[in-house]
Amino acid sequence: MSATTARWRALGALLRPDAVRWAGLGALVAVGSGLILTGPLIVRERVRVDARLGLEAIEQRVEQRRRELLGRVVEQVERGALRYIDTFSEPSNLCRGVSYRQRRRLDRRLRSGELTLS
């Protein structure tokens, strides 16, 4: 018997008595990973804003629309009309973590019209 085979058999002998626990742990990790990947996203929408008003105005409009969408979500929950949408490849989480300096620069470029949102 090769050394590799012996190692796998030894590992199997160690894990076998607790096989049900290991399977339960594996299922728990799989469910947790699945929930993280899908996230709590229920409604997603592009919010129309005027970039020349700057970041504060944009944030206010986004917050206003967020509250409106929350109302829609509650309505959909009450009707039982929610549906699953795969969001794994969505870039929505890639834009977090902007530094204050980058934010100021972005705000300046938006207000000047040098940069537009499309």
Q: Are residues 31 and 45 in the same domain?
A: no
pTM of the entire structure? 0.40
Residue 67 lies in a domain: yes
Residue 117 lies in a domain: yes
One pLDDT digit (tens) per residue for the chain, 118 residues: 788 888 888 888 887 887 788 777 777 777 666 655 554 556 667 778 888 888 888 888 888 988 888 888 788 878 887 766 555 544 454 455 667 788 788 888 888 988 887 6
Q: Are residues 24 and 8 in the same domain?
A: yes
Query: Is 57 exposed, middle or buried (CB count within 10 Å of its CB: 0-12, 13-18, 19+)?
Result: middle
Q: How far apart are CA 63 and CA 93, in angstroms?
A: 17
Residue 88 lies in a domain: no
* Domains: count for the chain: 2
C-alpha 74: how far from its chain's center?
Answer: 20
- Tokens standing for residue 28: 């728990």
Q: Are residues 20 and 59 in the same domain?
A: no
CB 106 within 8 A of CB 55: yes
Q: Are residues 22 and 75 in the same domain?
A: no
Q: Domain of 58?
A: 41-83+95-118
Q: Are residues 57 and 74 in the same domain?
A: yes
- Tokens standing for residue 11: 């590992």
Q: Are residues 67 and 101 in the same domain?
A: yes
- Tokens standing for residue 3: 């050394």
Residue 89 lies in a domain: no
C-alpha distances (whole Å) from 111 to each of 71, 76, 84 are 31, 37, 38
- Tokens standing for residue 117: 């949102």
